[in-house]
Every structure is written in structure tokens, then in C-alpha cells.
Chain A
Amino acid sequence: MFETDFTFNDLLFMLQGAGVTLAITFFAVTGGTLMGLAFGVLRASVRPWMTLPLVFVLDVFRSVPLLIQLILANAFQAIAGFGMSPFVTSCIVLALYTSAYCTEIVRGAIDAVPTVTRRAARSLGLTWGQDMTQIVFPMALRVALPSWIGLTLGVMKDSALVLWLGIFELLKSSQVLITRLQEPMFILLIAGGIYFMLSFPIARLGGHLERGWKEND
């Protein structure tokens, strides 16, 4: 039968890593979404040429592999003497990376709200801000949510790359155990299971919200 040296304490060790993964994902997605919202609204509201510098910077974050961004950012902050911990550096890089994708999700979703609907809102005397909060955001949210959930799940998995900065997140913890116990298949199976358990509720939450909206359509 199946025998293993894997103990309960090892599982706790992995769950601690999962906590770090969750924390990095939380800060990256929260920061990235807030920045993405601001940049996306800006992109959808002003003439395209006005946001060209912003688009260029965001394109850099979307085009350069995340691993290279992490390592360069970590080296740069050390040289510049910012004294940031790898955890903070990782959160900032991942947040910028998330914001680059989120900006386009938000811009696309705002553009999907028909111009005539917005005209109707403005014709009733609603201000630009009221039009945004009462009409555009609620309608755009329905368009943006599936892509945003996908982005969040993607960032959670991409966050594994921060192990290269020496952070003990889920994958790094698994690596340590694999080196010690020499049971890669079994430990990776557990790690995969934990990733799934972290992702599943987020994916289900999206599905749940969408079903609620569908009832009105």
C-alpha cells in the first residue's frame, strides 16, 4: 500500500505557504484592480492620444515575462536602496502587472455600454459622475466580471514565480518538502489540490453573481 513520510506538520507548512500565496494575490489584485479602474476609466473617457504614454507603460508590463519583471524590480530596489522586502516588491510588481490587464478589461467593459444609454442618462440631468456610478459601472461590471475572475485566478497562479525572490509561498514550500521527502508526485498533488481550493470559491462566486444577473435579462 501507499506509504509516506508526509506529516501533519508538513501539511501545515504548505498551508502557511498557501496563506502567503493568498496574501500576495489579495494585495496584487486589490492594488491592480484599483489602478486598472482608474486607468481604464481614463482610457475610456479621454481622446486616445492623451493616454499614449500610459498605454506604452502598461504594454511593457503586459509584454515582458513576469519573472523578468520580478527579478529586475528586486535588483533595482536593492541598488536604489529602497530597502523593500521581497514580499512588498512582489506585491507591487504583481499589482502593476494586474493593472495592465485590468485597464483593458475596464476600458472594454465601459465601451460596451451603449452610447445611447449614456445619452439617455445625461439627458435626464445626471452628471458625468452620476452617469458613471449609476449606469456605466453596474452595466460594465456584468461585462467585465468573467474576464476579471480569469485575471484574478491567473494572478494567483502566476504569483508562484515570486519564489525566485526567496518568498515561501505555496510552491516554494512544496519544493522544500520535495527535496526533503523525495515524493514529488504526492506533494505536487497536494499543492495542486490547495491551489484548486483557493481558486474554486472565486470562480464559483463569479458564476453565482452572473446567474443572479441573468434572471433579470
Chain B
Amino acid sequence: MIEIENVHKSFGALKVLKGIDLTVDKGEVVSVIGGSGSGKSTLLTCINGLEPIDEGRILVDGTEVHARSTDLNKLRRKIGIVFQQFNAFPHLTVLENVTLAPRKVKGMGRKEAEEIAVRQLEHVGLGDKIKVYPSRLSGGQQQRMAIARALAMSPDYMLFDEVTSALDPQLVGEVLDTLKLLADGGMTMICVTHEMRFAREVSDRVAFFDQGVMAEIGPPEQIFGEAKNEATRKFLSSVR
């Protein structure tokens, strides 16, 4: 379970998160929507401790992420994250990209790590690309590789930060299909997304962020059907 309690975060004078409260249960898929600069992506980087927070606390399975005593490297094994930009390691083959963390972080043997990597790569439809370097992959393929790379650590939670935003429109579908597959498999996911159809079809709950505040949260039918908040309605009518 991920528990976010009254989280505040600023970059200099800019307040990005102004008191976020959110609990995500095991197996739940929560989509976070909202305009740019609303703090959605920052929240994800705070959850796995890539960014410090100013106030409040975030608990992952009861462990406080920003506590001094927390071993972040250990905690991060539980939390996979995929970013908007394709973050392939360009000097490693697709297979090496995926086996790196299991081998170095978990201390797995090469053979075992490769078996897991191949399984994950096949899962995201890249079974035939294991020997090539990332530069030979399309954006959509690189993004699916990044997903396989995160999954190879067998995380309990997956965070997706606008993973389709940097893709050509015709490549968006293949990545969203991969996310759907994951959601169907029972993975706990927080997806920051601009894909409203995806948010509607896959999420258990949808949260709308507006200027650092979670303005509204509820089941997709509520958010997309009869949003209570004026800002939510305004945002949704602008993206439709």
C-alpha cells in the first residue's frame, strides 16, 4: 500500500505540491490527470525518493520513503518507474539493459537474470530484439523496453510518468496495450497520463490535479461523467 499524507514540495519559490493526500491499495490502478505544472510528475518522483519533500510523509508498505533510516536503494526495488523520455542505456543491448539491475542490485546470476529478462521482453513484445542496441528501436519499442526493465526487478508497484507523451501518435497504442496487460495482471499502478481513454478504461480511480492540489478523485465514471469540481469539468472539456 502507498500512503501519501499531506505532502508539500517546492522547487525554490515555486510550490509544486500543496498538501497531497492519497492512498493506493494493492492491486489498484490510479490514473493522475491534470494540466502541465499541476505537480503530477513531481509526485511520482517523490514516491520513490528521487526528490525530497518539504512536509508530510509518504509510506510504501509502512516504510517512510524520506526517513533518514530508510535504505532508498532497497526500497526502490519494490517501486518501478518509467519516465516520459526513453531512458535506455545506449551502451548496453536491450538484454543488458534489462538484466543490469537484477544482476547488480539483486546479485542475480547472469543466466537467471537473462531468463527473467527474456520473459519480460517477450511479455512486452520485444522477444526478437534482445541482441540489438536501443538506438535501433523505435520510441515505442524503447518505452516498452523501459517497462520490461522495471518489471525485471519484480516490483510491487509501478509508476508511469506520461510514458506516451514523447511518442509519435501511431506508437502510443502499443505502449498503452502493454500497460493494460499489466493492469489486468493485477499490478498496483499509478499512471500520470494525458490519455483520457486509457484513464477511463483501465483505472479503478482517477485523480485530477490542479495547481499542486488534488482537486478531485473518484471512479472514472464519476470523473468523466459527473465531475463535482468546476476545474475538473473545465479541464476535461478542454482535452476532449
Contacts and interface: CB of A to CB of B under 8 A. Distances in A.
Interface in B93-137: 100-101, 104-105, 133, 135
Interface string B180-203: 000000000000000000000000
A106 to B, nearest CB: 17
Contacts of A123: 48, 50, 76, 79-81, 150
> In the complex, which of the residues B73, B133, B150 has the most CB atoms of chain A within 10 Å of its own CB atom?
B73
A217 B92 CA distance: 11
Contacts of B83: 116, 119-120
Interface string B74-89: 1011011101010101
Which of the four size classes fits the interface of chain A? 20 to 34
Interface residues of B, number: 26
B87 A125 contact: no
A124 B85 contact: no
B90 interface: yes
Interface in A108-148: 114, 116-117, 119-127, 130, 134-135, 138-139, 142
A216 interface: yes
A147 to B, nearest CB: 18
Contacts of B101: 124-126
Contacts of B66: none
Kindly name the residue among A114, A121, A130, A134 whose own CB sees the greatest number of chain B CB atoms within 10 A.
Answer: A134
Interface string A140-165: 00100000000000000000000000
A217 B105 contact: no
A109 to B, nearest CB: 13
B91 interface: yes
Contacts of B100: 124, 126, 134
Given A119-B87, A139-B91, A124 B50 contact: no
Residue from A117, A125, A130 having most chain B Cβ neighbours under 10 A: A125
Contact of A135 (B76, B80, B89, B146): B89
Contacts of A213: 91
Given A123-B80, A125-B153, A138-B91, 14 more contacts: A116-B83, A119-B50, A120-B81, A122-B50, A123-B79, A124-B80, A124-B150, A124-B153, A125-B105, A126-B100, A126-B105, A127-B73, A134-B104, A217-B135
24 contacts: A114-B87, A116-B85, A117-B89, A120-B89, A120-B146, A121-B89, A122-B50, A123-B76, A123-B150, A124-B76, A124-B153, A125-B74, A125-B76, A125-B77, A125-B101, A126-B73, A126-B100, A126-B101, A126-B104, A130-B104, A134-B104, A139-B90, A216-B133, A216-B135
